[in-house]
Structure formats: C-alpha cells, structure tokens
Structure 1
Amino acid sequence: MQTMALAMDKGGEELGSNLLSGVSLPAAVVHEGPLAHNVEWMQRFAEAHGARLAPHGKTTMTPALFHRQLQAGAWGITLATAPQCRAAFANGVTRILMANQLVGQANMAIIASLLEQGAAFYCVVDSHENARQLGRFFAERGLTLSVLIEIGVEGGRCGCRNQQQILSLAEVIASEPALSLVGLEGYEGVVHGDNPESGIRTYAKYLVDVAVELEAAGRFAEENPIVTASGSAWYDVIAEAFQGAPLQGRFTPVLRPGCYIVHDHGLYREAQSAVLGRRPDLQQGLEPALEVFAQVQSLPEPGLAIVALGKRDIGHDQLPIALRRFREAGEPSQSMSVAGWEVTKIMDQHTFVRLPEGAQDVEVGDIVAFGASHPCLTFDKWRQILLVDDQLNVKERMATYF
C-alpha cells in the first residue's frame, strides 16, 4: 500500500493523461511549444546583444525550467533570497546571482554552506554596514564572498543613490579581505515618471558610466567585471546600453529577465508589445505559455457562471481572462467560444463570469483555460506545474520550490 501511495503521489497516474479527462482541476499548465520558443528566443536575443543571460528564477522557482534555460545557454540563474538559492543549488544550479542584499546571519550561513559546497555565488550590497557585516561573517568562515554594488534611484527601493555613496562603498569593500567587488547591479523597473523610457535609458547609461569609472580606478577585483540589470519589460533598452563600446571586451554584461519564460496575458503582453514597437527588427516575440484550467461548477442564474478557480489558484493583480472552453472528456481540437465572457470578481476558490446574451451552450463541468497577468503570482500558488503538449497530454509534472 505504501509503495502504491508513493507512486501515486509522484504523479504517475497523471503522466500521459489529458487535461480534459483524468486530471484533477484546477491545474496550472505550461504549454510545451510556447515554452520552448520563449527559452530559445530570449537566449538568442541576449547572445545577439553580446550579453549573458541569468534568468530570474523567482518567477517560477521550478528547477525543471531552470535546467531548460541553462541547457539553452544561460550563464546562471538569478534569485532573490537565500532559501531560494539553497533550493536552486540543491537542484543542480551551480552559478547563482542573488539580486538582493544578503542580510542576517542565518541567511549568511545558508550562503556560506553553498560556497563550501562549490557554488559560484554573487550578491549585492548598498551600505557600509551590510558590507562590514558580510566581511566579518565570511572572514570567520574562511570564505570570500563576491559582491556587486547596487545602483538605485531616488524614490526607488534599495541601491546607492549617488556617485559619492558608490565610491565610498567601494572603499569599504576593498577594506574587507573576505569581500571581492566583482561588478555593479541595477534594476530599471524602479525608474518611473512621465517618460519612463527616457528615464531608463538615462539610468542604464549611468550604470555603464559608473562601471567604467570604477574599472579605471582599479576598484574591481576581477577582470571583466559584471554589469547587470534588466527585468522582463525593458530588457531591450538595457541590452542596447550594455552593447555599447564602453563595455565591449572589458565587462561581462548580464541580463536578468524572468517572466519571459512563460510570458503572460496581461502586464508582460503589454510590455512585449512595447518592446516590439521599439524594436520592429525583432521577429515574432514571446508567446504566453502559462494557463490555469478550471471547471464551471455552477450556473446559478441567467448570465452568470461560477468557475472553480480562485485567488488561491491564479494571480489576480489583474483579473484572469477566459481564453478557451472545452467539454469534459472532449477533444482538444474542439474548443468552444468564450467570446464575451467577462471575469467580474474572484474569491478564494470561486471566479464570477458574466456570460453574454445568447450563451446557451455552457454546461456545468465545462473546462475553461484562463490566462493571468504577472506569472510570478500564479506559480507561487502551486506545488507542481503540468507540462502539456499541443493535444493537452500531460508530459511532465514539474515541482516548485517556494
């Protein structure tokens, strides 16, 4: 009995099943074709711009996806917290860029253990105090920690606010034998204003200029120091700035988009449209790969469907979008219309859908594929993600590590 239970827990009963029959819904689903396209597309983009790719793993926290990115040529994986780094390393990721400050001795101990096991690890600093804390801790462990100075903006979150702070911090790092200054880090997503593109281009140029100045002053401990930025909305602007002459052959430019791997039907679809508007030479662009499948559970009154999908199942900073509908146990090729369907409200386990007039063919049990905005906030609700092919057959169960 225990052996059988373990086999079922590993998901053997779902592999080979079809989403329209034999899979408990709701389920978070990644489509194999768009996934492969996105992984290849972004890797090709980075390489064409002379940059390395370190995708932000916090988006998915799914090692099966990390390995697809690494196999395609990614330089490493970016993460945000020490436990995330530990989970990635335990699943075979050996080069980790933590685009965040490493604060607290318990978190430092996690990273020290990874270094002792052979991880190539980088984190960011933006204050004298944090640099001194890190210097003391890692000196006591007999380890050297590679750090990057974070460049921030007024009104943003972390990061040095001006050049004097940067230069002063570089001096403090140099005074700590256990620290090695290996580059600069920034995040353009904190730049706002009436003309964000102009502000981001200015920010990217500043990042490059400071890197060149620190190199000229001999502040970096390694050849070809890292210069890194880029989320999933402005990666084209950052790549163009990094491709310029000041960095070529002297630095290691690293891009860190994360959401591109599955894209979305909201925020990043809009961002990608803007990218293609700025860069019409880029072909096709990214494709949404992440959906959540759920079933109609009630038709309590005319014009209203209640779907067994809620805030615990799908991101909701923007309301989910109904994409396609199927009959349970039907054929994947025979989807039905969801034209005019409007999600009006989402609760913990229920989604309210306003149906258009004349929607007479909706039945309890119908399966609906929903798209969401901001994939990070859907992945973190699931312990497993189902990889499916074009016929909605389950090819793989991919564990998450949130």
Structure 2
Amino acid sequence: RELGALLAADEGLRILCGADSLAGVAILADALADAPRPLDVLVELGGAQGRTGARTVAEGERIAAAIMAAPGLRLAGVTGYEGPFGPDRSAASVAAVDGFLATLVELHRRLEYPDGVRPVLSAGGSSFPDRAAAVLGAAGADAEVVLRSGAFQIHDDGFYSRMSPFGPLTHTAPLRSAMHAWSRVVSQPEPGLALLDAGRRDVPFDIDLPAPQSVAGTVTALNDQHAFLRPADGATVAVGEVVRLGLSHPCTAFDKWRVVAVIDDPDAADPRVIGAVATCF
C-alpha cells in the first residue's frame, strides 16, 4: 500500500519488485487493487538449494500469468540471484552459474509482456557480474539488463577479493578494498597471543575472520568485543599498538555501523579522519 501511494504521488517514479509465488502475487494484488498506476513486478526464478525464487521455468510462467491478471500489477521482467550456485571461481562453479542464468533468459523468452514494457533482466551479485552480463546480455536488445553488485562500493580483503572477476580474469583493473577496521592491542596475557578491542560487534565474521594487515599474524577467534591475534614467528606487537584489519564480506560490516569514518590515507603512519558517511543497510 505504501508503494502504491508513492506511485500515485509521483508520476515519474518507477518501482520494481519481485514475486516468486502465487501467494506473493496475491498479497501484492490485494494491496494494490485500487492503485491508480500498476506496480512493476519481476518474476523471481531460483533453483534447487538456492535462495528465494520459483524452482522451475514452468512455475515462473504461472507466476507471470497471475501478475498479468492482477489489475494493480504489471509484468516487468525476470530476476534471480546466481550466488548460491557458485561457491568459488572454478570451472564447475562458473558452469553452474551460467546454467542458472540461462534459465532466466529462457523464462524471459517464454513470456509475453504488456505493450510498452521493455522488460528487465536482473541478476549479478558481486561474485559473478561478468557472467550475468555475458549470459543475460545475450538475450538481445529487447531487455534491459540490471546488475545488482553491491559489494563493489567498498570491495574487501577476503571473500570478494577471491571471487571478483576484476583483474587478470577479465583483463581489467582490480578493485581495491576501501574499508578497514582499526583496533588496539589491549592485552598480551601469554606468549603468542594478543587481544584486540575489535570483536563480533565491530567486524564481519560470517565468511572469514578479519585479517591483520599492519602486523604479520592471524586472527583465530572473535568474542563479542575482542579479537584473538596470534602474531607470526618473529612478529611482535605491544599493548597500546594499533593494528589495521582487512575485512571479508562488506554486507555484514555495514550492518554494524550507522556512521563510518572516512580517512585520508589508510597506508599513512597516522591517518586523519576527513569525513563521515552514514550507512543505509
């Protein structure tokens, strides 16, 4: 209902959403039955062991038919998320991702869209935007390809640094990480162990633990407010020393910080804070 009110208030506004079930379409149709302008809805296609999304092209066709039959809705394209089908950049993973993306194109080609609609084909997380562009782009000029690669904004020093196609794989400049955590050594209770004042409340840990960058060593565990740093052989840290940490998976960094400091140079001996940005996540 709120989306319908926004569309009614601004004739130039376009809102796209997804539906992956007849039940979802029914909820949208009920809320927007009297809307002055229809809401654009993409059929979301998924796959076995994937995330959300209809599991077959035939199911997607039934969802599309339900959208077309609803007065307050307009069929506007096909969407999906390829990430679950490729845990790495191996040939098998890339083939699985391409296979899934091909089903999006297949569903798109089976659908008949309302007059005047240039359908949207959307996929492309931050691991396989190259494959999404290649496979969805092959659908031709009759569709608008929209990539949803949000992690490019700051990249990382972990998961996406391993997965990103930018660099030698695509003969392009690589992305650089633009976010780090700055922590302080607060305790050295025993040889070979230093405790930092950055923990689960501060840094991502859902895929990889943070990696120390200003000192050789490994973070082996996190508590709520502490990181367990094991310095490498020959490396030393002192209580009070500041340690820069590289992060993995920026999504779960954004959700921990409402405001992020901007610094002039992360490699400087004494970086200066020159601004701040609010996160909207």
Q: TM-score, normalised by structure 2?
A: 0.89
Question: 2:147 aligned with 1:255, yes or no?
Answer: yes
Map of 1:151 onto structure 2: 45
The correspondence of residues 1-400 of structure 1 with structure 2, limited to 5 A, is 109-118=1-10, 119-192=13-86, 195-214=92-111, 218-244=112-138, 246-248=139-141, 250-272=142-164, 276=167, 278-279=169-170, 281=171, 283-317=172-206, 318-324=208-214, 338-339=215-216, 341-360=217-236, 362-390=237-265, 391=268, 392-400=271-279
1:192 and 1:358 map into 2 onto residues whose CA distance is 38
2:8–2:36: 8 Å Cα contact kept in structure 1?
A: no
Letter in 1 for 2:221: K
1:184–1:211: 8 Å Cα contact kept in structure 2?
A: yes
TM-fit CA distance, 1:117 = 4.1
1:163 and 1:303 map into 2 onto residues whose CA distance is 56
Change (3 A) 1:321 1:382: same
For the residue of structure 1 that corresponds to 2:58, the secondary structure is: helix
Work out the percentage of aligned pairs sharing the same amino acid: 33
For the residue of structure 2 that corresponds to 1:284, the secondary structure is: coil
Change (3 A) 1:343 1:399: same
TM-fit CA distance, 1:153 = 0.9
Question: What are structure 2's unaligned runs of at least 5 residues?
Answer: none
TM-fit CA distance, 1:276 = 4.1
1:320 and 1:163 map into 2 onto residues whose CA distance is 40
TM-fit CA distance, 1:162 = 1.9
1:314–1:381: 8 Å Cα contact kept in structure 2?
A: yes
Question: What are structure 1's unaligned runs of at least 5 residues?
Answer: 1-108, 325-337
Change (3 A) 1:358 1:241: closer
1:212–1:247: 8 Å Cα contact kept in structure 2?
A: no
Letter in 2 for 1:178: G
Q: How many residues align?
A: 271
Q: TM-score, normalised by structure 1?
A: 0.63
TM-fit CA distance, 1:305 = 1.1
For the residue of structure 2 that corresponds to 1:184, the secondary structure is: strand
1:138 and 1:258 map into 2 onto residues whose CA distance is 29
| Residues 350-391 of structure 1, C-alpha deviations (whole Å, 9 max, x = no match) | 11111234445x322211110111011111111210111125
Letter in 2 for 1:206: T
Give the superposed CA RMSD: 2.0
Change (3 A) 1:321 1:261: same
For the residue of structure 2 that corresponds to 1:190, the secondary structure is: helix
Letter in 1 for 2:262: L
Higher helix share: 1
For the residue of structure 1 that corresponds to 2:15, the secondary structure is: strand
